Structure 1
Amino acid sequence: MAKITFITQDKETITAEANSGSVMELAVNHNVRGIDGDCGGVCSCATCHVHLQAEDMEKVGRPNEIEADMLELDDNVSEHSRLSCQIPISDALDGVVFKVVN
C-alpha cells in the first residue's frame, strides 16, 4: 500500500493511502482541491497537473509522448510535471509528495 501526500495551492496537506487505481483517482476520492480530472483520466484535459520533487521523478517516471504533449499546453509546466491520471498507484509511490498545480 502506498501512502501519498498532496499539497494544494492553499498549502493544505492531504495524505491518503491506496494500492490500486491512479493518483488522480485517489486525489478525487479524497477531495483534493485542484485535482478535477475532468476527462476521467484519459489524458486529454490536464486538470490533474501536479509537480513532483526532483528526487521523486525516478520513482514516478517521466511522462510518455502523449502526456508530454498535453503538459506543453499548460502555462505552469516544469521538468517535474506529471498528469496524475497517468500515474498508476504502486508500492513504489509510498512517501511521494505531489504539489497540485491548479
Structure 2
Amino acid sequence: MTTLHFVLPDGSSRDVPATPGHSLMETAISNGVPGIVAECAGSLACATCHVFVDEAIASRLGGPEGAEDEMLDFAAVERRPLSRLGCQVKIEDWMDGATITVPETQV
C-alpha cells in the first residue's frame, strides 16, 4: 500500500493510505484531509485542490502543463515551483512516503 504524508496549514500532519490510479485530490477528500476544497470535483475548473508536492514527485512528474498550469494562476495562495493541482496528479506506487503540503487556504 502507498502512504502519503500530508502537512496541514496548522503545521500538523496526517499519513493517509493512497490507491494507485486515484488522484491526490481524491485521496485527500476520501481520507478527510482538511484544507482541500475541490469545488469542481476534479474537472480542472478551479484551483481549490492546490497543493505543494515534494521534490521527489516534482522531479519524476515534471511541472504542470496546459490548463493545469493556467489554472494555478488563480489559486488563492500564490503558486510556487512545486505547486500542482491535486486533481491532476495520479498516485503511483513510487510515491510511497511522499510529502504533500496543503496551503493556508483554497478560497
Q: TM-score when scaled to structure 1?
A: 0.89
Distance 2:102 2:23 in 1: 15
- Offset of residue 26 of structure 1: 0.7
Q: 1:57 maps to what in 2?
A: 58
- Offset of residue 5 of structure 1: 0.9
Distance 1:95 1:60 in 2: 16
Provide structure 2 residue ranges, at least 5 long, that are not aligned to the other structure.
Answer: none
Q: 1:31 maps to what in 2?
A: 32
Matches within 5 A, 1:21-100: 21-74=22-75, 75-100=77-102
- Offset of residue 49 of structure 1: 0.5
Alignment identity in percent?
33
- Offset of residue 29 of structure 1: 1.0
- Offset of residue 95 of structure 1: 1.4
- Indicate if the aligned counterparts of 1:18 and 1:89 stay in contact, CA closer than 8 A: yes
Once the two structures are superposed, what CA deviation does each residue of 1:44-98 show, in whole Å capped at 9, x if it has no partner? 1111101123343113432121100000122420111000110111102111101
Q: TM-score when scaled to structure 2?
A: 0.86
- Indicate if the aligned counterparts of 1:52 and 1:80 stay in contact, CA closer than 8 A: yes
Q: 2:7 maps to what in 1?
A: 7
Compute the RMSD of aligned alpha carbons.
Answer: 1.4
Q: How many residues align?
A: 102
Provide structure 1 residue ranges, at least 5 long, that are not aligned to the other structure.
Answer: none
Distance 2:6 2:71 in 1: 21
